[in-house]
Amino acid sequence: MNPLEIPEIVIRRLPLYLRTLNLMAAQGQTVTSSQEIGERLGISSTQIRKDLSYFGEFGKQGTGYNIEYLREQLRQILQVSQRWKVALIGAGDLGRAVLRYSGFEEGGFEITAVFDKDEQKIGRQIGKLKVLDIAKLHEVIREQGICIAIIAVPASEAQEVADALVNAGIKAILSYAPLPLRLPSNVQVHYIDPVIGLQSMTYYLSPEQI
């Protein structure tokens, strides 16, 4: 099936299934069911089976799923069996926190270059990487074969940075900037905004909880 024919919401749920299977495997479990996965994630078992059916048949009725087999299938579908190189733009407080987050490597991603335009930050060592001048963005991305980038710059600079990344050949962007980016249709972009998440929760808080 053409990847573009599969609903985006289905693709967004696949990493949740993979993470759940990873936790199960770490606990020594070898077999699971759509019902058990659903109970852990708050998703119906019918929805899980429907999502997986886009890619094939991975389990048997009455016996469930072999966890290791399903994990490997999902890794291949999501293309995280390989290690993806990632560029990080922004070496401020947020950028440094992102760079130190160990979950990226566990998920199949490695930040191999970090950039900033601030002369006070350029040349500084953060972990195993040295902050590079953003003027070298195009050169380094091409040299390292990077196609994924993370934007951790102020909102006022995000569009300019995104444009530079696209011109350098980046095909997927994870943006912490709290505004939508104008990008070509062939460039994937996802947003992370903790404030939006918090605001969507405060709506439900009762006056007694304030």
For strands 64-66 and 31-32, give the pairing: antiparallel
Whether residues 107 and 182 share a domain: the answer is yes
pTM of the model: 0.84
Evaluate whether residue 50 is within a structural domain: yes
Whether residues 37 and 129 share a domain: the answer is no
Q: pLDDT tens digits for the chain (210 residues)?
A: 555 588 989 999 999 999 999 999 999 999 999 999 999 999 999 999 999 999 988 877 667 899 999 999 999 999 988 899 999 999 999 999 999 998 888 888 999 999 999 999 999 999 899 999 999 999 999 999 999 999 999 999 999 999 999 999 999 999 998 889 999 999 999 999 888 888 888 888 867 655
Distance linking the first and last C-alpha atoms of the chain = 50
Work out how many domains the chain is built from and give that number. Answer: 2
Evaluate whether residue 32 is within a structural domain: yes
Q: Which of 46, 77, 108 is the last residue of a domain?
A: 77
Which structural domain range is residue 11 located in? Answer: 3-77
